[in-house]
Chain A
Amino acid sequence: MNQKKVLVPFSFNPGEEKALDFAIHAFKDLEDTTLTLFSTYMAVPAVDTQSNPVMKRMTEGESYLASELSSLENGLQETKEYLVSNGFPEDRIEVILRERHNSIADEIIEMAHKGHFSYLVLTRHASGRPPFLGRSVHCKAIANLKDVTVCVSV
């Protein structure tokens, strides 16, 4: 059986539930399809506390990050429950939360490429980046991904 993989990036932006609803509607009954909820976070930036003693306060930022990560994990779990409660089988859902090193668009493209995904489901404002700040995530994904069907909910 040829397994199909669906990548659904999620950043908790308003309107992203449309991507979830589309994924549920399009893929829940396809038994050879798995869905990956994908989210990223940024680590607390490195702080030069020697040249700037006041910034020592920021070393406490790691505890903030732990709290932020926990909040993100809970949010993704709730999102997974939303998928399950709307009929998507739990055993076909995977959740990935990882540290971000590049732009959101680049992280999504890398994940879609390296993870050998067949479908990428996005919303128009997947990154909170308006047109004047460059190409949107979906434009960049369409331009850079081969053999991946990109679905954009508007």
Chain B
Amino acid sequence: MSPDVRITIELFKGITRAVARSLDIETVAHTLAQYLVGALAIKACAVFTLEMGSNQLLRLASFGLSPSYQSKGRVFGDKSLATNLKGEVVVVPDIRESDLLQYPEQAIKEGIGAIVSVPIVFSGRVTGALRLYHSQVWNPSESDLDSLAVLAEVIGLAMAYTNLSHSCADICTVLSSAELPKT
């Protein structure tokens, strides 16, 4: 039997609308994480950003993960569900049967049964990951994975907008403090 489709078009519209109304990137990420946890009845959700150079995944927002799991140690994109870095979705239906995790023991202790990690891609570049955690063995449907990939793209767009917005603000600051020659 094929897995259920949990992300319906109504749910998708509701999440996208709520995310679009958020004021900053952190609120966007928190809103998405909270909505997905509630709507999909999963254990937790986290949004990570990828720090270039170090390949470290920085937790921008999360919902449902315990403080001790969050502070378990630095998470690196090339050690944790690494094929995300190639832009591929990683599904670990049962973490007890996987060697893809960087902190498998801590994940089991946290009560995580399954993880789905969707790369956040903008303009062909991986800029982060959207991760969903289920307390049981979980194999989401292809349709849900596709919907999650689109939601990750929405986050990617929000990140790009934030990047552009901050760059413009910085340029304004520099120009307003500079003594430009009179023409």
Q: Is the CB of B38 within 8 A of A127?
A: no
**Assuming the A-B contacts A44-B38, A75-B66, are A133 and B61 also in contact, with contact meaning beta carbons closer than 8 angstroms in the complex?**
no
Closest to B158 in A: A133
Residue B50 lies at the interface, judged by CB distance under 8 Å to chain A? yes
Q: How large is the interface on A (under 10, 10 to 19, 20 to 34, 35 or more residues)?
A: 35 or more
Residue B109 lies at the interface, judged by CB distance under 8 Å to chain A? no
Interface residues of A in 39-71 (CB under 8 A from B): 42, 44-45, 47-48, 52-55, 57-58, 60-61, 64-65, 67-68, 71
Choose the segment among A13-21, A85-93, A108-116 that binds chain B (4+ C-beta atoms closer than 8 Å): A13-21
Q: Is the CB of B71 within 8 A of A16?
A: yes
Q: How large is the interface on B (under 10, 10 to 19, 20 to 34, 35 or more residues)?
A: 35 or more
> B44-68, CB under 8 A of A: which get 1 and which 0?
0000111110000011110110111
B residues whose Cβ falls under 8 Å from a Cβ of A: 8, 10-11, 13-14, 17-18, 22, 24-27, 30-31, 34-35, 37-39, 41, 48-52, 58-61, 63-64, 66-68, 70-75, 127, 159, 162-163, 165-166, 169
Residues of B within 8 A of A129 (CB): 25-26, 49, 58, 60
Q: Is the CB of A55 within 8 A of B74?
A: no
Q: Is the CB of B166 within 8 A of A134?
A: yes
Expressed in whole angstroms, the Cα–Cα distance for A16 and B49 within the complex equals 17
Q: Is the CB of A133 within 8 A of B159?
A: yes
Residue A148 lies at the interface, judged by CB distance under 8 Å to chain B? no
CB distance from A140 to the nearest CB of B (A): 11
Expressed in whole angstroms, the Cα–Cα distance for A74 and B66 within the complex equals 9
Closest to A79 in B: B67
Closest to B67 in A: A75
Q: Is the CB of A54 within 8 A of B11?
A: yes
Residues of A within 8 A of B18 (CB): 45, 47
Residues of A within 8 A of B72 (CB): 14
Contact of B71 among A17, A65, A127 (CB under 8 A): A17
Residues of A within 8 A of B70 (CB): 12-14
Given contacts A44-B34, A128-B59, A133-B49, 10 further A-B contacts (CB under 8 A): A12-B71, A14-B72, A16-B71, A52-B13, A54-B39, A55-B10, A55-B14, A71-B67, A78-B68, A132-B52
Residues of A within 8 A of B159 (CB): 132-133
Interface residues of A in 1-18 (CB under 8 A from B): 12-17
Q: Is the CB of A130 within 8 A of B49?
A: yes
Max chain A CB contacts within 10 Å: which of B17, B59, B71, B169?
B71
Closest to A125 in B: B58
Residue A141 lies at the interface, judged by CB distance under 8 Å to chain B? no
Residue A135 lies at the interface, judged by CB distance under 8 Å to chain B? yes
CB distance from A110 to the nearest CB of B (A): 15
Residues of A within 8 A of B52 (CB): 130, 132
Q: Is the CB of A104 within 8 A of B26?
A: yes
CB distance from B92 to the nearest CB of A (A): 21
Q: Offer 29 A-B interface pairs, CB within 8 angstroms, sorted by A.
A: A13-B59, A13-B70, A13-B71, A16-B71, A47-B14, A52-B13, A54-B11, A55-B10, A55-B39, A60-B38, A64-B38, A67-B64, A71-B66, A72-B67, A74-B67, A75-B66, A75-B67, A127-B26, A128-B49, A128-B58, A128-B60, A129-B58, A130-B51, A132-B52, A133-B49, A133-B60, A134-B163, A134-B165, A135-B166
